[in-house]
Structure 1
Amino acid sequence: MQKSNHEEATEGVAGHAAPRSLPRLARPRLHDTVVEHLRQFIVEGVFAPGTKLNERELCETLGISRTPLREALKVLAAEGLIDLLPNRGASISRMSEAEVRESFELMSGLEAFSGELACERITAAELAQIKALHFAMLACRARNDLPGYYSRNQEIHDRINEAARNGALRQTYQSINRRLQALRFRSNQQSGKWDEAVQDHEEMIQALEARDGKRLAAVLKRHLLEKREAVLPLVSGDGTGTKNLVKSTDA
């Protein structure tokens, strides 16, 4: 039976045959991988808001022990994606309608400011990378590949924020955006809304190429507020879409 990276790394330590540095390298990789998998489950709707997580089934699915799982859950709790309650385990956080409205309103301002600064500071290489992501995103849309589309979509927004080169802005942006990713993903599940988002991205690329900060800021602000209006009707229906990695109680 093939051994996991975690088992291979720890086996060397037990037999005193592997360099001492291996466990310290393997553990962060395992930790990051678990966090990323769980975050993706939340974003893509495998877990509906309010759902209680079953640790045993998650461990079996991911092929890990409970220790790295619980460490990952603490990270996601710090990001506001899950709630950890004493003696009650972990459940997916649920945002109220007011929180959704206010968070998208704030994100629209953060993205607009990112766009203004990016137009002043972006390099030709960075712009080329964003354009390549844009074309890859369009290819995903043509295949109706929503996860692939969303991944590239979010990377475009993230790279615009990075190109702004403002550490305080980036920290705030990442914190707020983590809580909105699942809703941003769901906003594209209607074909009409998806096509509108693609058109917005076309305008973003044009504004970046022209280094037109005011135009890009306006497009980004409108884009985020349109997302808000698309997802608000979905907030009351957040009990749907739960798949088979959750149960009402943890075994």
Structure 2
Amino acid sequence: MTRTTKIGDVRPLAVQVHERISSDIIDGKFPPGSALVQEQVAVQYGVSRTPVRDALTLVAQEGLATLVPGQGYIVNELSDQDVRDVYEVRYALESIASRQACGKHTPTQMVRLRAMVDEFETLDPADAKGLFLMGMQFHAALIEPCPNNYLRSTLATMWGHPIQRRINMTYPQGPSHQTKLAADHRRIIEALKANDPDAIVEVLRTCHDPSDHQLGPDA
């Protein structure tokens, strides 16, 4: 039995259980096709059925699992269409935000962007979580000067969504993948220096090319 609650965590138990289930799906502890039965999950996490029921409802709403009558919640496969859908929306929103942010970065913000790429290149290519977090921070810093607060918060929500995290954790990471992302980020920085929003959007387009984000081994 594994305790889900943490000392000092005052959030509702259902929220804590939801976070744990989502993380376990993203990390592959519950692989696609796994059945998430309320009673079994409650015993595994050391909680009652009520917070598990509420947590599983949220997991299903996020698209991580589907309720199948007589079987419980079944962990969904992550399809290429899921990947295309996420990147299509993120590209559209990031393009708008990047255009609005271009030309507004301070020297300090530019230095921070370059430092992020430098640090990104030092990470272990197999560190999927580390690469994801650093990439997320870079993209957040890219649109930081965007004056549209709602647009920035919407993109932050997308990056934090379990499906986005699951995509990045599912991709087999490797040196070529890491090198391409670093090169793309440096091209974005050069476009920012040149005050060229069209070039930024073009780099973002290649970053969000569905053919470059298929589920399969790193080339």
What is the TM-score of this pair, normalised by structure 1? 0.64
Aligned mates of 2:46, 2:193 — CA distance in 1 = 45
Computing the radius of gyration from Cα coordinates, the structure with the larger value is 1
- Cα offset for 1:125? 5.1
Q: Is the 8 A contact 1:73 1:90 kept in 2?
A: yes
Paired letter, 1:196: K
User: Are residues 1:148 and 2:152 paired?
Assistant: no
Equivalent residue pairs, number: 212
2 CA distance for matches of 1:194 and 1:106?
23
Letter in 2 for 1:164: C
Equivalent position to 1:93, from 73, 76, 83 = 76
Distance in 1 (CA, whole Å) between partners of 2:35 and 2:4 is 27
Match of 1:12 in 2: none
Conservation of the 8 A alpha-carbon contact between 1:55 and 1:66:
yes
Contact 2:17 2:55 in 1 (8 A): yes
RMSD of equivalent CA atoms: 3.6
Deviations 1:147-189 (A, max 9, x none): 2122221232244345434344346545655333322333352
Gaps of 5+ in 2: none
Query: What is the SS of the residue equivalent to 1:45?
Result: coil
Greater relative CO (CA pairs within 8 A, separation 6+): 1
SS in 1 for 2:173: coil
1:117 aligns with 2:100: yes
**2:208 paired with 1:224:** yes
Correspondence for 1:79 among 30, 43, 62? 62
> What SS class does the counterpart of residue 141 from structure 1 fall into?
coil
1:217–1:34: structure 2 CA closer, same or farther, 3 Å change rule?
farther
Distance in 2 between the 1:221 and 1:83 partners? 31
Cα contact 1:183–1:231 (8 A) shared by 2:
no
- Give the share of equivalent positions with the same residue, in percent: 25
CA distance in 1 between counterparts of 2:15 and 2:104 reads 31
**Larger % of helix: which?**
1
**Structure 2 letter corresponding to 1:147:** K
Q: TM-score, normalised by structure 2?
A: 0.71
| Cα separation, 2, equivalents of 1:188 and 1:209 | 32
Deviation at 1:223, TM superposition (A): 0.7
Unaligned runs of 5+ residues in structure 1 are: 10-24, 235-251
C-alpha contact 1:5 1:26 (8 A) present in aligned 2: no
**Which among 161, 165, 176 is matched to residue 192 of structure 1?**
176
CA distance in 2, matches of 1:167, 1:120: 17
Asked if 1:207 corresponds to 2:191, the answer is yes
C-alpha distance 209-132 of structure 1, shift in aligned 2 (>3 A): same
- In structure 2, relative to structure 1, the CA distance for the partners of 1:4 and 1:86 (3 Å cut) is closer
**2:94 pairs with 1:105:** no
Structure 1 residue 200: Cα displacement: 1.4
Question: Which amino acid counterpart does residue 197 of structure 2 have in structure 1?
Answer: G
Aligned position for 1:45: 28
